[in-house]
Structure 1
């Protein structure tokens, strides 16, 4: 296990023990800002699995990035022409994204997937959920899955990228906690239907395989 993965698991375990299953995101970013931890997913390049997708032309379309972190995937979608809103529950993560991309047209905001702004309902042509639900414990995961699709506009696209199997050497602890096929199927709610659901070989991670799932309204 890498040092950054250990930091994430340490802080997640502490938050879960305190009854705050999402608070560890802010703790992780704050400690990373102070040089006391590393964020495992804070890498320069956009997601390889996102870049592999043949996405619709972004011009004239709105995109929403769930749990955007420092903004690498949000910036990529912005480069494709999308008008991007990107949110994270961690205020420190949003501060970091804004600082790294000071001239960006992306609208970075603090928001909670479990309690999103009502104005976002059915408001986006593309919604990206990459690696966030897999970082949530079972007791709130179903709720997060149900909410993710509510952002998708009629004719829009929901992209779900997530761990499908655990680390070869894992003892089952997390995060991440890989999603089951039933959980992936659960994204087809609120009028969404699946376009494709596949398992692909993971790139740049010790997780053997990943889900690549597309849904539309």
Structure 2
């Protein structure tokens, strides 16, 4: 019972989600993107299932790229099921973008898309691992939970390091703003003293004072 509870907890906080949405066809299509974040070295599996068929008056295209600039897959004019698997080269966000080009002017068409993104331990084929390594079901479950736990620890360590980096940046910015403010005050004081001295000498030269 404890194993089931722990398994449910790790399933809730692991990266795995499915979306169902429609992408309308247009003569000048705007990309519809879904973003997710993965850590360096994580396995990512993207499953896409669409309705319709090729040649039905719309051209559905898909591209997967990360924020670093890597392009993992580009497919044009597809329908049905597509499965894309890749390992994240770095800790970064990646986008799965769709564009639906309308080929028949005056018609209202769209494609229904079901998108399922899995990463880390959820993306692995545990049935194959069980068959290859001849593991018992309880051993597979424990191993899967162990990998999920390691991923959670890595995610927390990444968030901690990011918070420390942002804190250092914030402190550095505050220090620079403070030094700049002190410099501005010093310059203003010096400028005021110079103006007072200049006016006093001017009035003395004019015998006003």
**Based on CA coordinates, which of the two structures has the bigger radius of gyration?**
2
Query: What TM-score bracket applies, with the shorter chain setting the length?
Result: under 0.3
TM-score under structure 2 length normalisation: 0.25
| Larger relative contact order, structure 1 or 2 (CA cutoff 8 Å, min sep 6) | 2
Choose between structure 1 and 2: higher helix proportion: 2
TM-score under structure 1 length normalisation: 0.24
Choose between structure 1 and 2: higher strand proportion: 2
